[in-house]
Structure 1
């Protein structure tokens, strides 16, 4: 670590002494070699024509001179009315000449749209474009995330490259949500509102160290029209049960003021079929059939304003509200069979209704100022979040003997209200030097208080009686202070990024029940270094070698610390764990890029004190099982990934990911090691006349999930879309799980305990969707509002 800090310091000192004058020069002419005056010149990095770093207008003779950050090669685009754009490569110190030809297809009123590929690879992330992807039709953002290569979504948990603990951001704003609350929010956020999804497997020091499974950043659509503009959408899906989603977005800009608002409503009904078998004490056999129906209603509001104080600074404020009401009704039939003594056989039948309501409210403030002509900037972010949640669970059970004669019944219920308050403030400064290097540093403060309670009662002779012995109150306080430094530059023929982040965490959990008051204070400080090296292997820069290392942690979700109880059936319950500790992960990666298209990656991750939702038998009653988050030892993953896009014809594009890994989960009560193969493939067909067809499929031979091994996961989606009215109206038709293969089978392991299960949910469905975009006015660029609460959002539940 000391060596790392010395190297970082020396690079920072040396970078500040380099100030070269770097310019690009050239002339724009038509094909007759006549100068074209007042043309638009845009400059981008060599590996991207979409993100421009500077621009200028040619003079009356078509000449231009543009200062750029560093010596090197750049892509330069020339644009003139009535002429086709041209892009050429220019090296600093040299001149480039453009010869533009007349655009024979230009009309007086034409809209040209550049279609982005489904998947794009960037140096530190993978970008999946959603806006024009028919496969995302009618999907929630949670479902859309599952379309990304190397990403698996299962039971509300997101895994990236086999790692859990993935955090979610929206427009760079970390969601202070986890568990059911995160699932509800991502369900209410529909794909119609999303432009792209970024998968950041190994985030640099600028980001919170939270999230051993990396970060997922959802980029919402940005309206680009001056005046009033927006869109409306609606989707109807039909599986066994119907689903609907609809919403609207409005944007208004005049002068320095910009206003925006969006509203989304989602309603869905689904089913859940779960079968379980396991061994029982005294050589008994437990088998259960659970049949559930759920109704989920979610609403989301996002509104705010931006004000351009000057060309170099702006102020923004925004509000996000997410409101959900989820109802589930489970009916369970449980058989206990003793082959050697049938007289002890028994049957229980239960009805288990539950209701979960949550209200999430967040107010964010964002101030940014550009401090020089090179783009150096200071950003201040602050958020205040208030989240209310309440779960109501009821259990109604009847028991029968081996002759199916009624024995007795029980009825009880519990309520578990929760209230969380979170304040975050984050200051960042990034200095860009003339040689193209940059130095960033900043700090963050996070203050969290959560109040949880649980109230139990039982039915006695048609009257509800309080069960005081089970009631409890759990209060949680957490303060985090963090700081970071991050350097980007060039050294020894390599592009480098070095970062170091430090976080100090102080927390106290206080449990009050009939046994008294128990406090569990903790305090710890951790350093999180990150290193990224990129070596170009050819002059064109199309082949490169990337090496990275970083250290991250995964803090327990706030709800995981709450020791409340919920009931699945008469023999199965779920509860939190207030004694969880953070999980720490070290990640190493070696990646080779060929022709800026094909990516081959070898990676190794080593995690300790892994947090998993495990199924375990209860100590005092081995007949019963508990699902509970625990620190379950270590996980080691060796992985090889190949990403291969192929343009088969002009109208057929395929993108494929092959992932081979060895996963080893080691804990005191289980030791699981499996060789895993995953194949993901996406096909895009451009059929002309506005029609496009997309197909996506993935196959997993197996996967380790907590203390379970899941077998043979396979899914295929198919979609078609057509655009009308100058691309303003998009009509989409999509089929999810078209072969009906979403049934999941697996086995849980815990010491000598084995639980076999299979589960089927509503995944197979067909969706019809409409999206209409409208606008009035001239072009402008909406501000992308950031926030300071990315980590905390992902932990709320």
Structure 2
């Protein structure tokens, strides 16, 4: 088997090199005044004047067309006028150099005004052209994502419809941030610097097979040579408490040098409230807890790229994040006799979390053109170092009678946790166009090492006493090797587009609980095929079919078997025996013009894992663990409609109807199965009052549903209002928003565990008033290179 794996990797690496190459014709089109001519049509005709291939020149007047060996006529046209025509003989890759054309034939009065569609469908992704939307092109990248089809941004959380997770890329390079850090980073990208946003619901083989996740790729406008730009941002949010933020980004481009520096800092706090009710056979347990959650986050990014030649560039990028998310919390729990309604016990708890998270990431990369045929290679080497410390001091006092089953007394405890994750990754990717198809392939290697050190101290006495039975040192090693290949082919006069890919991943893991003297090893080899087929019915209609297989790996911390106590009656533990879950996803998409998009999908998952709360009447302790405990399948239809009939009104609407069914592996801890139909509807509206001011609202309603983790979720509604305005010749942009106006977009669910009914609900200051100011200087079209790193998935799993 091992030899088979090695042979497969060798095949994927070498096969494309032995395939037949193609011949390219390249050149640059220049007018009479030596200025380059963009959007000129370059056509290759046969000797019988039959057009074989054509392409538009780019902004620098460059073009590249691919053709078989032979004699041809090269023609350059613009606005229907032939600017140049010449005979060419092709038997190898040919560079025609600078082609001077007579552009005086063009009518100066004619203005090219071609406007792209608002929404376009490609074989493996949906493209939302931000520059064609007033709402999307105002504010920052987070505002643009709010109106992107298939993406939900609420309470500063980004999600993709129908997906449990998602990644964010900029210029096809993954952003190495998550949570608050990612939100702050997106706010530094002004929306008028964004060309388009690509929504990739079924990522192709090039990307990691990790998670039932999609990708959002933010495409920035092209870099303007020899210029600089800067933006300064300030924001304030008022809920129960206030939170302020400030930051800036500076980009410099000169000759062969490109540099970027950004910094973001936010400080403040927000209020959280959680309530739970557990119905035991003889008693009712009611708990209400509140907390003050602090934000103290400073993130930095530095990048430098050097263009050695037209065919070779290299660079480095550093990302650092320093966060102190402290928590002060308190809770009150009461136990009531179901018959007499008397209070049997009262439990008071108070806790303080003092946390510190430090992330340092370094990336080195290079891009090379291997030849004139179009083969390109990119290489990334990444190092990640993440450190987290958490000191939790909690005090619990219990007042109980004999009927409660609890004992009077108190507990004063210090729980100390140290976590360190190191990852070294490397990825090489090659684009290899052939005469009959476009091929790309690559290799990826990842080496991760995680160390957890947990200590529990009893503070009841004069001196802290270490509880050795509740202290733990845990080490986890995970190594992964991956290879992938993907091919794309257009046929049927470019009305059909087929893309097929295959990714293989080989993983070895080792978990070592030193304190428990417990070692768990695991290894697995997986195949991940992808398939996309697009049919262009006409210029207004396309149909796309896609399939992908995905893998779910647990977060590193979820594999630690040790218990982490939040109070005397509640603890959380990981599970080193967790195995990856697998999902198979199918999608059928229909796109009409730029305003109607319909998606039908089906997904089936096995070995799904998650957090399970177990309850019993022996000690009334809530045990939270992680298990592979259910399989599920879901199907649904999502309809997006954009109304573009009025210049002063931008309107986007979504309705999604879906069905899901789950089966439990751990019955009767959970119900044996559940299933339900559900839906949600959403409408986003922007009213353009004048050239500098717009205002609007967004409303979304989620109907009740049974989720895949065998939990019932109650209905909730989200409503927001915003005003956007620009001043000082659009250099200063302001946004005022009111989020979750109805205060009804909070979690509220119920479940059955061990035969007991339990319900949970919570509110985390999701209703607030916010204001943001962004001031731009220099050339606003300057963008920096953003790098996809080879350890993006390991980075997402540190939380």
TM-score by length of 2: 0.83
Q: 1:638 aligns with which of 632, 635, 639?
A: 635
- Residues 170 and 411 of structure 1: CA distance in aligned 2, closer, same or farther (over 3 Å): farther
Q: 2:788 aligns with which of 772, 786, 789?
A: 786
C-alpha distance after superposition, 1:56-86 (max 9, x if no partner)? 778xxxxxx9553589xxxx997xxxxxxx8
Counterpart in the other structure of 1:560: 558
Whole-Å separation in 2 of the counterparts to 1:765 and 1:247: 21
Contact 2:175 2:787 in 1 (8 A): no
Whole-Å separation in 1 of the counterparts to 2:56 and 2:18: 20
Q: 1:185 aligns with which of 167, 181, 186?
A: 181
Deviation at 1:685, TM superposition (A): 2.1
Deviation at 1:665, TM superposition (A): 2.1
Deviation at 1:395, TM superposition (A): 1.9
Contact 2:136 2:145 in 1 (8 A): no
Counterpart in the other structure of 1:329: 328
TM-score by length of 1: 0.83
Pair 1:667 & 2:664 matched: yes
C-alpha distance after superposition, 1:523-546 (max 9, x if no partner)? 1111111110111213x3x21211
Counterpart in the other structure of 2:97: none
Contact 1:484 1:499 in 2 (8 A): yes
Pair 1:628 & 2:625 matched: yes
Instruction: Give the 5 Å matches for 1:724-763.
Output: 724-763=727-766
Whole-Å separation in 1 of the counterparts to 2:309 and 2:339: 84
Whole-Å separation in 1 of the counterparts to 2:217 and 2:544: 22
C-alpha distance after superposition, 1:688-714 (max 9, x if no partner)? 231122422221103416332221121
Counterpart in the other structure of 1:109: none
Whole-Å separation in 2 of the counterparts to 1:471 and 1:322: 29
Deviation at 1:564, TM superposition (A): 4.4
Deviation at 1:42, TM superposition (A): 2.6
5+ unaligned residues in a row in structure 2: which ranges?
43-54, 69-75, 87-100
Contact 2:579 2:628 in 1 (8 A): yes
Counterpart in the other structure of 1:48: none
SS in 2 for 1:186: helix
Pair 1:427 & 2:423 matched: no
Contact 1:615 1:748 in 2 (8 A): no
- Residues 497 and 87 of structure 1: CA distance in aligned 2, closer, same or farther (over 3 Å): farther
Counterpart in the other structure of 2:37: 40
Deviation at 1:562, TM superposition (A): 2.5
Instruction: Give the 5 Å matches for 1:114-263.
Output: 122-126=122-126, 149-151=149-151, 160-169=160-169, 172-174=172-174, 182-193=178-189, 195=191, 198-217=198-217, 224=224, 226-263=226-263
Deviation at 1:277, TM superposition (A): 0.6
Report which stretch shifted further, 679-688 or 360-369. 679-688
Whole-Å separation in 2 of the counterparts to 1:252 and 1:302: 14
Whole-Å separation in 1 of the counterparts to 2:713 and 2:427: 40
Deviation at 1:37, TM superposition (A): 8.2
Whole-Å separation in 1 of the counterparts to 2:561 and 2:547: 36
- Residues 744 and 18 of structure 1: CA distance in aligned 2, closer, same or farther (over 3 Å): same
Pair 1:345 & 2:344 matched: yes
- Residues 43 and 488 of structure 1: CA distance in aligned 2, closer, same or farther (over 3 Å): farther
- Residues 419 and 773 of structure 1: CA distance in aligned 2, closer, same or farther (over 3 Å): same
Contact 1:56 1:66 in 2 (8 A): no
C-alpha distance after superposition, 1:754-781 (max 9, x if no partner)? 211221221111111111111169x766
SS in 2 for 1:261: strand
Deviation at 1:643, TM superposition (A): 1.3
C-alpha distance after superposition, 1:313-368 (max 9, x if no partner)? 11010100011111111111101011335667111111122232110100001100
Whole-Å separation in 1 of the counterparts to 2:344 and 2:149: 48
C-alpha distance after superposition, 1:435-476 (max 9, x if no partner)? 6x3111110100001111110011223432111111111100
Counterpart in the other structure of 1:49: none
Counterpart in the other structure of 1:497: 499
Whole-Å separation in 2 of the counterparts to 1:15 and 1:190: 43
Instruction: Give the 5 Å matches for 1:519-598.
Output: 519-538=519-538, 540=539, 542-598=540-596
C-alpha distance after superposition, 1:264-292 (max 9, x if no partner)? 00123111111111112x41111011111
SS in 2 for 1:214: strand
5+ unaligned residues in a row in structure 1: which ranges?
29-34, 46-51, 59-64, 79-85, 107-111
Of structures 1 and 2, the one scoring higher in RCO (CA 8 A, sep 6+) is 1
Counterpart in the other structure of 1:418: 419
Counterpart in the other structure of 1:294: 293
Whole-Å separation in 2 of the counterparts to 1:284 and 1:77: 84
- Residues 342 and 237 of structure 1: CA distance in aligned 2, closer, same or farther (over 3 Å): closer
- Residues 176 and 255 of structure 1: CA distance in aligned 2, closer, same or farther (over 3 Å): closer
Whole-Å separation in 2 of the counterparts to 1:571 and 1:220: 51
Deviation at 1:176, TM superposition (A): 6.7
Whole-Å separation in 1 of the counterparts to 2:82 and 2:165: 42
Contact 1:284 1:339 in 2 (8 A): yes
Counterpart in the other structure of 1:266: 266
Whole-Å separation in 1 of the counterparts to 2:28 and 2:225: 32
- Residues 18 and 432 of structure 1: CA distance in aligned 2, closer, same or farther (over 3 Å): closer
Report which stretch shifted further, 498-507 or 245-254. 245-254
Deviation at 1:100, TM superposition (A): 4.5
Contact 1:138 1:236 in 2 (8 A): no
Whole-Å separation in 2 of the counterparts to 1:645 and 1:796: 38
Report which stretch shifted further, 190-199 or 713-722. 190-199
- Residues 171 and 795 of structure 1: CA distance in aligned 2, closer, same or farther (over 3 Å): farther
Whole-Å separation in 2 of the counterparts to 1:382 and 1:406: 57
- Residues 447 and 617 of structure 1: CA distance in aligned 2, closer, same or farther (over 3 Å): same
